[in-house]
Amino acid sequence: MKKVIKSSQTKRFKSIVPNQQVKRIVYDYGESHEGLVYIPIEPHFRHKSRWWSKETEEMSILKMVDRQDCNVAEKLIDYESGYHDNYPVVSFLPMNKESAIESIHNCLFNFFGDSVEYHWVARDHKLVIPTLQNLSVYLRIESLDNVCDTFPSSPVLKLMENIYDMTNPFSPESNFYQTESIVLNLNNETLLKVLRYFQGRQAILTCSGSFEIGGLIEFVNRWKSGEALRKLEYLEVVLRFKNRFPKTEILDAIGVKRLDETKQPPSHTVPRICGWRYFDPNTDPINAHTYVVRETDNRVASISVRARSLRFGVWNETEEEFLAKANLLPSFYR
């Protein structure tokens, strides 16, 4: 019977989301204390379902086309189907939200299994992050300065963003530095801490105030030695206000190698973690004639330094493979 139901629901689902492969399901908890369950569909359309709201009277704005009681994992939900801004909508009483979230997730996981990603989006670190199977967490909050003592310990965050400058650094032992991808506004002190202790894959860091290049040079040298940052794929540091990067000083200090300036360099880009939340799902391309090599495995990282931005992109290739891609190896090496 379960197989028959699954087969029927699969056909129904394909009629809702035609010609699309489901990659992830998102539980979104917004600033207005309403919840959404949706399937991000590239490039710029999201199939959404509202799972609760502050007041169920908000549903009166919808043009209702169906109403039924739906049993989800033994939880009875008053299901109202309609459209608002072209999105299908479902709601139930807010008093049942915790059990409903768990029930919906268990139902979806039973249907899709681990073939898709499940993302929990939160905008308040005080919210209880549910412990659900295969759930990844994305946190976007105004300020990180009041989070140090209460930073979520489990699960490891998939992505974290802040709005106001982070001025209070986390301790080196904090799980904060294990976040897979960070998009943060920082001051000089917190930037240096992040560069020193970050263990994730992608980081976009905007720095206000003064800037010390010593921490940046230390970061590159630690990557080159293989001492740290083994998972790193992409780093971008952006300076605000009147600050500028001393390009020549930085490149000389980290000992870059150079490609032939007359040839087009390979363009480095990787898929953004949680790229469905951005207009461009990939990181900004790095088209640089300068690169560094990691001593332990001969991996290459392209590095681009401009007046206000520095980009560092790690290739999954050895120096020989990288030079072949750049068409700079003699033919007998290719």
pLDDT for the residue 102: 78
| Residues 174 and 31 occupy one common structural domain | no
| Residues 162 and 101 occupy one common structural domain | no
Q: Token pair for residue 249?
A: 């000083």
pLDDT for the residue 278: 79
pLDDT for the residue 270: 96
CA 167 – CA 186 distance, rounded (Å): 6
Query: Containing domain of residue 28, as a range?
Result: 1-45+57-141
| Residues 127 and 276 occupy one common structural domain | no
pLDDT for the residue 74: 54
Q: Which of 116, 141, 166 is the last residue of a domain?
A: 141
Examine residue 50 and state whether it is found in any structural domain, yes or no. no
Q: Which of 113, 141, 169 is the last residue of a domain?
A: 141
Q: Which amino acid is at 259?
A: L
Examine residue 229 and state whether it is found in any structural domain, yes or no. yes
List Cβ<8 Å contacts ≥24 apart for 300-305: 301/223, 302/265, 302/266, 302/268, 303/220, 303/251, 303/254, 303/256, 305/245, 305/247, 305/250, 305/251
CA 104 – CA 37 distance, rounded (Å): 9
**Cα angle for residues 183, 166, 312 (degrees, 5° grid):** 40
| Residues 180 and 210 occupy one common structural domain | yes
| Residues 133 and 163 occupy one common structural domain | no
pLDDT for the residue 90: 52
Examine residue 232 and state whether it is found in any structural domain, yes or no. yes
pLDDT for the residue 13: 63
Each residue's pLDDT expressed in tens, for the chain with a length of 334 residues: 777 776 776 666 666 555 556 778 888 765 555 566 777 765 444 444 544 444 333 333 333 333 444 555 555 555 444 444 444 545 545 555 666 677 778 878 887 888 888 888 877 666 666 778 888 888 888 888 777 656 666 567 899 999 889 988 888 988 889 999 999 999 989 999 999 999 999 999 999 877 788 999 999 999 999 988 999 999 999 998 878 899 999 999 999 999 998 888 999 999 999 887 777 889 999 999 999 999 999 999 999 999 999 999 999 999 999 998 877 654 433 4
Running DSSP on this structure, what letter comes out for residue 281? S
| Residues 103 and 197 occupy one common structural domain | no
Contacts of 59 (CB under 8 A, 6+ apart): 53, 80, 82, 89, 91
Burial degree of 287 (CB within 10 A; 0-12, 13-18, 19+): middle
| Residues 263 and 283 occupy one common structural domain | yes
Examine residue 52 and state whether it is found in any structural domain, yes or no. no
Examine residue 157 and state whether it is found in any structural domain, yes or no. yes
Examine residue 51 and state whether it is found in any structural domain, yes or no. no
Examine residue 13 and state whether it is found in any structural domain, yes or no. yes
pLDDT for the residue 85: 46
Q: Which amino acid is at 204?
A: I
| Residues 116 and 178 occupy one common structural domain | no
Examine residue 114 and state whether it is found in any structural domain, yes or no. yes
| Residues 134 and 177 occupy one common structural domain | no
Q: Which of 141, 157, 177 is the last residue of a domain?
A: 141
Place of tokens 């699969």: 10
Per the document, the length of the chain is: 334
| Residues 110 and 177 occupy one common structural domain | no
| Residues 111 and 158 occupy one common structural domain | no
| Residues 133 and 152 occupy one common structural domain | no
233-270 burial, b at 16+ Cβ within 10 Å, e below that, comes to bbbbbbbeeeeebeeeebbebbebeebeeeeebbebeb
CA 60 – CA 63 distance, rounded (Å): 8
CA 157 – CA 138 distance, rounded (Å): 6
Q: Which of 103, 68, 102 is nearest to 82 (CA)?
A: 68
Give the count of domains, the chain. 2
